[in-house]
């Protein structure tokens, strides 16, 4: 049995309790699992020993800063499986382990009941029970000790029937279980860890925007003060996080021009990811955007609008970055002594120098990279979207995230790593709060079911939270290029309801879908130029996005990550799935037509048993996007979705009349 524990001891040791198959446990306890503040954290384990003697077990837990352990009793589930739970009340890391030991009083009580049922003589057995109470006395204290003494005194004066009642009543059992004999206890041989993040780690809607494109006149470079004026509109669509690409000074050497051309014009602003020039590096603000004071004002204004700011953390430099002159040893050198620029053949990034995290002066480099995070935390940032973390050493991320969260546990990290699955998983294990996913390229029914079943119903869900971005400045997926407005609605509903955390890149609400032919790159990409947009253009999705985000907020089932379940639908283009809140009070079911061109109809099956509705019972289904209400009966219903009218339906299901659901169950 993997992960099993028995006390390793000398011959004759009586401690023979077996503890194994503890869940959750990630890689033998090497990495922590993830939860959120307010969760009731559940731990299960196989706990057993030879014979039929009863056992007792406790789940022990404490925060990493608390030297004292707390305990809750574990309960048997059957087949030697046990469960215990404790509340995660703080934004910190918790340690937990299990201790189990024989329970002689419960063993005695069960034996006595069998003898009584068989009509056997029990005089000697009653004396054995009283002896267990006497052995408990030295471990008891205060009022409990006096209660035990009184019970023993009553036992001496009582007749057989009264003795039986006294020894078997619940008060006696409670007293004995409060002061158990742990001399033969077995403790699990490792202390496991759970990170309790802020709830925003699990439930949030992200909006990405380039500050320089927020100017009030076409072609004029936007400022952070201009960005403040955009906040009410973004907050009105229901977003919780506003994410900014790098806001630092942009290099001039080898600056990229429009559409990633190698020659920049005099007015081309360059890529924000080519960080650093004579005005500073990673701890400075691009002068065209404003000042540090302007940035702090933006952070404060976002908070007042009910949002948090996420800032890009991109560990690379332009050839003009101060680090290049001050610390050339931090970069990769060619044989001729020049510094290597970044490449991802056939792509070349002459405007970017990658950092060498394994250089001889790596300790100073790593410390400086940590200081960048601390600097922006001082400016009010609590969320970082990390650019290409899979191109830096995983041990660096384990170190720097651990260092930051040891002093600022509220800080969240999103890994922008569209790379091999196990690399993405490793980054999540060592500390990243959230991760980008392959959702962007999952379009068809079975691949969506397979991918999200793995993501949210396997052990991956213990440590990786998938943040579903519909698009990014680097990725305009084919379905958005060709599917028109219905495709944007379809992908929005999928992202917002499959996961509890998702995001869009600005321009999505305007259904921007003009690619460089044959690629997933935007034509006239905002990465290389200032974009001017008419945010009120006809056909925009502002109202639709706001409605979907309102539905998410009003239904606690959408606040949870691991509760996604797929249900049968008899059409390949109709995806049918649902979520249920942890208290069982809120059930939502979602139907999405995955085809942006044609209307389709499907017979779908409802999980009535899980909801608690009888097969012949009438119940209400309120469609939340349109507001229509239906009275349904039976587990099969017919749904038709026309992408030119409404490509998705979100049903809140409950007994008639429908009740309103308030505070989410965390």
Question: Which of 593, 601, 584 has the alpha carbon at shortest distance from 644?
Answer: 593
Hey, is 646 helix, strand or coil?
A: strand
Catalytic residue among 416, 512, 560, 573: 416
Instruction: Retrieve residue 234's tokens.
Output: 């973004």
Phi and psi angles of residue 462, each rounded to the nearest 5 degrees, phi first: -70, -20
For residue 639 the two structure tokens come to 């749904």
CA distances from 602 to 448, 455, 609 (A): 17, 26, 21
Identify whether 387 is a catalytic site residue: yes
d(C-alpha 281, C-alpha 553), whole Å = 39
Which tokens in the block code for residue 330? 């931090």
Q: How far apart are CA 266 and CA 257, in angstroms?
A: 9
For residues 490 and 508, what is the distance between their CA atoms, to the nearest angstrom?
Answer: 12
Contact by Cβ (8 Å): 579, 499? no
User: Residue 214: CB partners within 8 Å, gap ≥ 6?
Assistant: 222, 223, 226, 227, 229, 230
Helix ranges, 97-192 (H): 104-117, 123-136, 142-157, 160-168, 170-178
Single out the catalytic residue among 368, 387, 509, 529.
387
Residue 634 DSSP symbol: S
For residues 528 and 270, the answer to whether their CB atoms sit within 8 Å is: yes
Are 214 and 204 within 8 A, CB to CB? no
Question: What are φ and ψ of residue 185, in 5° steps?
Answer: -75, 150
C-alpha span between 273 and 277 (Å, rounded): 12
> Which residues lie closer than 8 Å to 187 by C-beta, 6 or more apart?
5, 7, 97, 98, 99
Q: List, edge to edge, every strand of the sheet that includes 565-566.
A: 565-566, 574-580, 587-593, 648-655, 618-623, 629-633
CB 186 within 8 A of CB 14: no
Sorted by sequence, the CB contacts under 8 Å of residue 574 that are 6+ apart come out as: 445, 591, 592, 593, 594, 600, 601, 602, 604, 639, 641
Residue 306: strand, helix, or coil? coil
Cβ(477)–Cβ(515) below 8 Å = no
Find tokens 């990786």 and name the residue: 464
| Cis-peptide, bond into residue 24, ω within 30° of zero | yes
149 is catalytic: no
For 554, the enclosing helix (H) or strand (E) is helix 542-554
Distance, in Å, from the CA atom of 465 to the CA atom of 185, rounded to the nearest integer, reads 37
Q: Which two three-digit tokens encode residue 597? A: 């061109």
The one-character DSSP state at 397 is H
In order of 274, 511, 571, the CA distances from 444 in angstroms are 37, 21, 12
652, 657, 665, 663: which is closest to 587 by C-alpha?
Answer: 652
- Report the alpha-carbon distance of residue 526 to residue 528 in Å, rounded: 5
For residue 220, give every residue at least 6 positions away whose Cβ sits within 8 Å of its Cβ, in sequence order, or none. 530
Catalytically active residues are 387, 416
């Amino acid at each position: 049995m993997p992960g099993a524990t028995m006390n390793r001891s000398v011959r004759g040791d009586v401690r023979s309790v077996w503890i194994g198959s503890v869940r959750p446990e990630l890689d033998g306890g090497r990495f922590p699992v993830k939860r959120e503040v307010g969760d009731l954290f559940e731990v299960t384990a196989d706990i057993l020993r030879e014979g039929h003697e009863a056992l007792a077990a406790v789940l022990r837990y404490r925060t990493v800063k608390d030297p004292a352990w707390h305990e809750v009793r574990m309960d048997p589930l059957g087949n030697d499986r046990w469960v215990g739970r404790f509340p995660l009340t703080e934004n910190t890391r918790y340690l937990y382990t299990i201790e189990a030991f024989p329970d002689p009083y419960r063993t005695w009580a069960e034996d006595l009941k069998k003898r009584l049922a068989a009509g056997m003589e029990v005089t000697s057995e009653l004396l054995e029970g009283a002896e267990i109470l006497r052995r408990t006395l030295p471990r008891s204290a205060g009022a409990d000790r006096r209660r035990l003494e009184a019970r023993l005194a009553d036992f001496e004066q009582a007749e057989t029937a009264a003795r039986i009642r006294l020894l078997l009543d619940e008060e006696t059992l409670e007293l004995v279980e409060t002061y158990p004999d742990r001399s033969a206890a077995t403790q699990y041989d490792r202390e496991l860890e759970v990170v309790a993040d802020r709830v925003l780690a699990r439930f949030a809607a992200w909006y990405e925007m380039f500050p320089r494109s927020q100017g009030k006149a076409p072609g004029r470079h936007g400022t952070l003060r201009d960005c403040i004026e955009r906040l009410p509109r973004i907050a009105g669509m229901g977003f919780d996080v506003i994410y900014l690409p790098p806001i630092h000074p942009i290099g001039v050497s080898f600056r990229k021009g429009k559409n990633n051309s190698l020659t920049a014009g005099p007015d081309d602003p360059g890529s924000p990811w080519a960080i650093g020039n004579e005005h500073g590096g990673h701890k400075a603000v691009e002068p065209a955007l404003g000042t540090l004071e302007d940035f702090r004002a933006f952070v404060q204004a976002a908070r007042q609008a009910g949002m948090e700011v996420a800032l890009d953390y991109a560990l690379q430099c332009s050839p003009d970055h101060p680090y290049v002159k001050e610390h050339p040893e931090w970069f990769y050198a060619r044989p001729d002594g020049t510094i290597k620029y970044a490449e991802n053949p056939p792509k070349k990034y002459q405007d970017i120098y990658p950092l060498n995290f394994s250089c001889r002066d790596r300790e100073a480099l790593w410390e400086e990279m940590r200081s960048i995070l601390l600097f922006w935390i001082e400016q009010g940032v609590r969320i970082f979207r990390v650019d290409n973390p899979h191109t830096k050493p995983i041990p660096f991320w384990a170190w720097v995230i651990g260092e930051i969260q040891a002093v600022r546990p509220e800080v969240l990290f999103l890994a922008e790593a569209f790379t091999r699955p196990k690399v993405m998983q490793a980054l999540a294990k060592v500390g990243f709060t959230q991760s980008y996913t392959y959702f962007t390229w999952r379009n068809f029914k079975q691949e969506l079911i397979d991918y999200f079943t793995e993501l949210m119903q396997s052990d991956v869900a213990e440590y990786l939270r998938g943040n579903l971005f519909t698009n990014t400045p680097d990725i305009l997926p084919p379905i958005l290029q060709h599917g028109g407005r219905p495709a944007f609605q379809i992908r929005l509903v999928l992202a917002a309801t499959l996961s509890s955390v998702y995001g869009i890149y600005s321009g999505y609400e305007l259904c921007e879908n003009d690619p460089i032919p044959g690629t997933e790159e935007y034509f006239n990409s905002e990465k290389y130029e200032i974009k001017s947009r008419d945010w009120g253009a006809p056909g925009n999705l502002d109202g639709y996005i706001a409605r979907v985000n309102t539905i998410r907020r009003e239904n606690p089932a959408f606040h949870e990550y691991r509760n996604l379940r797929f249900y049968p639908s008899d059409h390949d283009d109709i995806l049918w799935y649902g979520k249920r809140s942890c208290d069982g009070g809120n059930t939502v079911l979602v139907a999405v037509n995955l085809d942006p061109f044609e209307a389709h109809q499907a017979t779908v099956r409802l999980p009535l048993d899980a909801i608690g509705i009888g097969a012949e019972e009438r119940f209400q289904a309120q469609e939340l996007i349109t507001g229509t209400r239906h009275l349904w009966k039976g587990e099969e219903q017919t749904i038709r979705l026309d992408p030119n009218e409404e490509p998705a339906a979100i049903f809140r299901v409950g007994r008639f009349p429908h009740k309103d659901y308030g505070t989410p169950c965390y």
